[in-house]
Amino acid sequence: MTIIVTGGAGFIGSNFVFHMLNKYPDYRIICLDKLTYAGNLSTLKTVMDNPNFRFVKADICDREAVNKLFEEEKPDMVVNFAAESHVDRSIEDPEVFLRTNILGTATLMDACRKYGIKRYHQVSTDEVYGDLPIDRPDMFFTEETPIKTSSPYSSSKAGADLLVLAYHRTYNLPVSVSRCSNNYGPYHFPEKLIPLMIANALADKPLPVYGKGENIRDWLYVEDHCRAIDLIIHNGKVGEVYNVGGHNEMSNIEIVKLILKELGKPESLITFVADRKGHDLRYAIDPAKISRELGWLPETKFCDGLKKTIKWYLENREWWQEIISGEYKDYYAKMYGDRK
Ligand code: NAD
Ligand code: TDX
């Protein structure tokens, strides 16, 4: 089995590469990644010498490069993680989100049509469903919930999902789609809530909480997401969407306080700043379908996963400190410099 994993130098993609190489020693895993600001080759250093692994630096929008890789590797499957993934960046500058997330997805699927494939899997997000009210804990996103996006990021992901399902209906491409809730764990890029708060707390810098910190996210440990995708590409039904989430809803302020407690830092570091534009209130996934059909259940409890994650950031400071000392500094100044 040969699998092309796009975006494998990013957060979830790299964890998926490790999961697959560990679990299936006879599979060939090819990582195709453009190495944008969010991609990091050092993340993959432990697998670079693995004879079952190959890294290829390329853009998923580059038809020629994608076709060449298909000709060389004749993949059985493609799992597409490659995307622009940060909501705040999409609000500042939507264009690259449309290019990578929509046109890149089409380019990959066109290669799948041209060369043939057993499965094309699209890694999507619960954000395509928009948001739920904070005061309705009885409401959840199911696979039937209508698409109703809030940000340029989620709109680009929704556009890609629709295209994937259309390629199935129109061309009979064997596709599947997973829509997962917020992930956390090792190699999470420090622009996102949990690693940003860990890094700032360790440096005794203010922790910028948007609005009142009441927005709710449904957190899942990254390894649990990787296991879900593994199950879907092997046993999931073609043409189907699977929601992935662990019923672990937390408000942002609760998370930030837990991180401070775990690190022994004072709550006085918390600073409330201007809210995100169009900020989704609450995400909550109903994972009944993947549990029922594929027997998937989350294995890592949030309290254990958060401890493991914080430990990882403490033990791998060079990984994230190198990131936050580079061009990230300009990003941080622009986004948070005079955010009141
Ligand atoms: P990430 O930003 O950490 O990594 C994205 C990776 O894609 C990087 O390695 C980057 O270099 C690569 N990439 C970007 N544009 C590319 C292009 N044009 N060609 C080739 N490679 C390109 O993202 P992540 O958090 O690991 O998310 C991975 C996927 O999972 C995304 O599709 C995202 O929408 C989805 N997702 C993320 C979460 C989450 O909580 N992080 C939750 C649900 C779904
Ligand atoms: O500095 C911050 N302060 C803050 O209050 C940051 C970076 C975030 N937040 C809030 C905004 C959100 O309510 O924390 C929450 C989580 O924010 P992000 O980490 O940016 O994640 P989110 O916007 O929820 O999107 C994530 O989950 C779904 C991923 O980035 C997406 O790629 C995925 O699809």
Ligand 1 pocket, residue 104 CB under 6 Å: yes
Centre of ligand 1 from the C-alpha of residue 249, in Å: 22
292-309, pLDDT tens digit by residue? Answer: 999 999 999 999 999 999
Segment 81-87 shows an average pLDDT of 98
Centre of ligand 2 from the C-alpha of residue 24, in Å: 32
Instruction: Check whether 339 has a pLDDT greater than 90.
Output: no
Measured CA to CA, the distance from residue 85 to residue 172 in angstroms comes to 28
Segment 169-192 shows an average pLDDT of 98
84 part of the active site: no
Could you tell me which of 107, 112, 105 has the C-alpha nearest to residue 75?
112
**Helix 317-324, helix 302-315: angle, nearest 10:** 70
Q: What angle do CA 169, 174, 141 make, to 5 degrees?
A: 75
Choosing from 33, 59, 84, 127, which is the catalytic residue?
Answer: 127
* β-strands 216-221, 249-251 pairing: antiparallel
- Residue 189: pLDDT band (50, 70, 90) is very high
Segment 109-123 shows an average pLDDT of 98
- pLDDT higher at 328 or 326: 328
Matching residue, tokens 């066109």: 110
153 part of the active site: yes
Residue 337's alpha-carbon distances to 94, 188, 329, 330, 333, in angstroms, are 21, 22, 10, 9, 4
Instruction: Check whether 176 has a pLDDT greater than 90.
Output: yes
Segment 225-238 shows an average pLDDT of 98
Could you tell me which of 156, 84, 155, 78 has the C-alpha nearest to residue 110?
78
Average pLDDT, the chain: 98
Instruction: Check whether 340 has a pLDDT greater than 90.
Output: no
Could you tell me which of 8, 30, 287, 283 has the C-alpha nearest to residue 123?
8
Q: Whose CA is nearest to atom 41 of ligand 1?
A: 183
Ligand 1 nearest atom to the CA of residue 124, by list position: 44
Q: Per the structure block, which two tokens stand in for 18?
A: 């490790």
3-20, pLDDT tens digit by residue? Answer: 999 999 999 999 999 999
pTM for the structure as a whole? 0.98
